[in-house]
Amino acid sequence: MKLTYKDSGVDKEAGYHEVRLIKDLVKRSLTPGVVSDIGGFGGLFSLDKNAYEDPILVSGTDGVGTKLDLAFRMDKHDTIGIDCVAMCANDILCQGAKPLFFLDYIATGKLIPEKMAAIVAGVVEGCVQSGMALLGGETAEMPGIYQENHYDLAGFAVGVVDRKRVITPGKVQTGDQLIGLKSSGVHSNGFSLVRKIIFDLKGFSLEDYFPELGKTLGEELLTPTKIYVQSVSPLLEKFDLHALCHVTGGGIFENLPRVLSDGQAAVWNLENYQIPLIFRLLEEWGNVDRMEMFGTFNMGIGMVLVVAPEDCQAVLADLASRQVETVRMGEIVAGNKEVRLWQPNA
């Protein structure tokens, strides 16, 4: 009997079936700039030359991390793609860019077309939420490298911004105000610690229902990362935002200093801030120090806007008119590129 590729664990026919399944899904995300169809060797995108005086392309790449383990355990794969898109789209948004297109990469031990289609459905939903076209991607079947029911997911986003409107470090001034946009939950960072707490320390199941959360633990933790493009893009047209900060791995301590200049610090006033319940539970369950929590998780704030004092009320009013949940966090002060948490009686 002749040896075939399928005998080694790679099913080409399953790959062809996956492409057929996702073709119609991808059409949801197509935007006017797309000039190619899925299945080519490269995706083609036409930039509107009349829309930009001096266009700068902004790119970003990221994955979902160990949050994938929860998708495996729950056998739920239709939202994890939103996380992947969100991590990339929110990053390039911080440079003032309009997201244009996205490419995904899925590597798996065994290609199950329906599972891959569910993942891509989430990617498409994330692209729709961020106004991007899913321009292409790659699914790699890698038996012996990944377990059959496991996969990895990563993505790459490209956006555009006029050179004169690029948000770069150096615009932030002492006295600028910090406006936080609320997160949808844990997002896609810190899940190695989450898994250590809930599985190793507490022995919880993702099917465990918690009345205080109003849902199962799995439903809470698998909530997709919020995409901030629709909330923030209108502000970029109306206001001179001094900085945007996507609160990802390393929490507020790692990310907010990235937009500060030498001689500056940020103060987050926690006096009237209610930390979301899931973070308070994780802190309690794992006996995690409060500063470690703020240095690992977003703690309820997924995006921080740094605005001039004279623009603060107008920005808040604009966001409120569109039902975007905000938090008045604090301000920029003199310091050494650090974030200080101010708490009464602390």
Identify whether the C-beta of residue 82 lies closer than 8 Å to the C-beta of residue 126.
yes
pLDDT of residue 346: 54
Structure tokens at 231: 């909330």
pLDDT of residue 268: 98
pTM more than 0.85 = yes
Instruction: Tell me the C-alpha distance between 205 and 80, whole Å.
Output: 19
Instruction: Tell me the C-alpha distance between 328 and 321, whole Å.
Output: 16
- Mark the ranges of the chain whose per-residue pLDDT is less than 70: 345-346
Instruction: Tell me the C-alpha distance between 12 and 68, whole Å.
Output: 25
pLDDT of residue 344: 74
Length of the chain: 346
Domain residue ranges of the chain, discontinuous segments joined by +: 6-165, 177-342
pLDDT of residue 42: 87
295 in helix, strand or coil?
coil
pLDDT in tens, 163-206: 999 998 899 999 999 999 999 999 999 999 999 999 999 999 99
pLDDT of residue 8: 76
pLDDT in tens, 127-160: 999 999 999 999 999 999 999 999 999 999 999 9
pLDDT of residue 105: 97
Structure tokens at 88: 């990339």
Identify whether the C-beta of residue 82 lies closer than 8 Å to the C-beta of residue 224.
yes
* The listed CATH number (3.40.50.920, 3.40.50.300, 3.30.1330.10, 3.90.960.10) that belongs to domain 6-165: 3.30.1330.10
Instruction: Tell me the C-alpha distance between 121 and 28, whole Å.
Output: 10
- Say if 6-165 and 177-342 have the same CATH topology: no
Q: Which of 308, 336, 319 is nearest to 242 (CA)?
A: 308
CA angle 115, 148, 121 (to 5 degrees): 15
Instruction: Tell me the C-alpha distance between 90 and 102, whole Å.
Output: 13
pLDDT of residue 94: 98
Identify whether the C-beta of residue 99 lies closer than 8 Å to the C-beta of residue 131.
yes
148 in helix, strand or coil?
coil
Which class would CATH give 177-342?
alpha beta
Is beta strand 339-342 parallel, antiparallel or unpaired with respect to 264-269?
Answer: parallel
pLDDT of residue 7: 77
What secondary structure letter does DSSP report for 304?
Answer: E
Structure tokens at 125: 């939903």
Identify whether the C-beta of residue 98 lies closer than 8 Å to the C-beta of residue 161.
yes
